[in-house]
Amino acid sequence: MTSLPFRSGFVCVAGRPNVGKSTLVNRLVGRDVSITSPKPQTTRNRILGVLRGDGWQAVLVDTPGIHQPSDPLNTRLVRYALTALQDADLILMLVEPLHQTGAGQRNGRHAALRNDDLRVLEHVREAKAPAFVVVNKVDAASEAAVLETLRRYGAVKRFDEIVPVSALTGRNVPRLAKLISARLGPGPPYFEPDQVTDQPLPHLLGELVRQEAFRRLNEELPYSTAVRLERIEAKENLHVVHARLFVERDSQKGIVIGKGGRMLRTIGQGARRRMEGVLGTRVYLELTVAVLQNWSRDPRRLQELGYPEE
């Protein structure tokens, strides 16, 4: 029996903040694909999910938005994003449909692309991997705007594919998955189907809590939340997970907890469900909130919370 070699690769999802990167990663990973922990030698950061098919695996690496960093935390986040780009086997650059303004902005070679997208594009150009531009949020734009966006990005030579999708509704996401799989070269299965190694698990689980918090509090608390996994107890068919969410100010703590604790419960429920997907067992999540003043400006705190210098 002949068998084709296994194919795999790291797929970096890049784009300015709020363009839908995390939503797309979640959508691609979907219900049938579980996030398990990477093998110990896989040291890359911010691995959010594995897209699997018959004989292939794509490791999706989400990036914090690439933007002009203004403080120590954001400097590190942007550095992570750039490293992920350099290491990627395939890059998905996410953009939104452009507003049709007629006149358009003047940006030299690529008139009428957004300046913040252009900044990302410059980084994508410096990376070597093949790249797709993914036009997300097509559900929220007119057909004309989508077509115009496809046309403008079509003129940018860096990209091998241009794929319109809606991460929110899932429209055209299966086609994107197919295009991703078609680009993978021979490589190892980085993730094993059932194995969960405990080393990076706290990081992954903490990341799930942080994502849920981001998702619910989107505009209100950008990057001022961090999560520390205090304890994970494995019982028969149940994991008890103790996590603490840190914010920088009392006022933020109030927002996270919400009226009558409602917001914190919502965040906890979402995170718990996703942890159950990762761990394959029921999860009891004990989630608390604490104020850690100015953690994002304190190098020692950053280190503690899992944002090491390099």
Give the residue, chosen from 45, 166, 181, 225, that forms a contact with ligand GDP under the rule CB under 6 A. 166
Give the residue, chosen from 9, 38, 65, 164, that forms a contact with ligand GDP under the rule CB under 6 A. 65
Which residues from 87-146 bind ligand GDP, rule CB under 6 A?
A: 136-137, 139-140
Residue 21 or 152: the one with the smaller Cβ distance to Mg ion is 21
For residue 221, state whether it binds ligand GDP (rule: CB under 6 A): no
Give the residue, chosen from 22, 26, 149, 252, that forms a contact with Mg ion under the rule CB under 5 A. 22
| 19 contact, one of ligand GDP, Mg ion, none, CB 5-8 Å limit per kind | ligand GDP
For residue 168, state whether it binds ligand GDP (rule: CB under 6 A): yes
Residue 56 or 153: the one with the smaller Cβ distance to ligand GDP is 153
Nearest to 130 by CA among 187, 182, 184, 91: 91
Give the residue, chosen from 59, 81, 135, 167, that forms a contact with ligand GDP under the rule CB under 6 A. 167
For residue 23, state whether it binds ligand GDP (rule: CB under 6 A): yes
Nearest distance from C-beta of residue 12 to Mg ion, angstroms:
13
For residue 218, state whether it binds ligand GDP (rule: CB under 6 A): yes
State how far the Cα of 22 lies from the Cα of 246, in Å rounded to an integer. Answer: 21
Residue 207 or 248: the one with the smaller Cβ distance to Mg ion is 207
**Interacting span for Mg ion (CB under 5 A) from 20-28, 150-158, 172-180, 290-298:** 20-28
Nearest distance from C-beta of residue 67 to Mg ion, angstroms:
12
Q: Which residues pair with 59 in a beta bridge?
A: 10, 50
For residue 252, state whether it binds Mg ion (rule: CB under 5 A): no
Structure tokens at 101: 């303004």
Residue 65 or 202: the one with the smaller Cβ distance to ligand GDP is 65
For residue 49, state whether it binds ligand GDP (rule: CB under 6 A): no
Binding residues for Mg ion, per CB under 5 A? 21-22
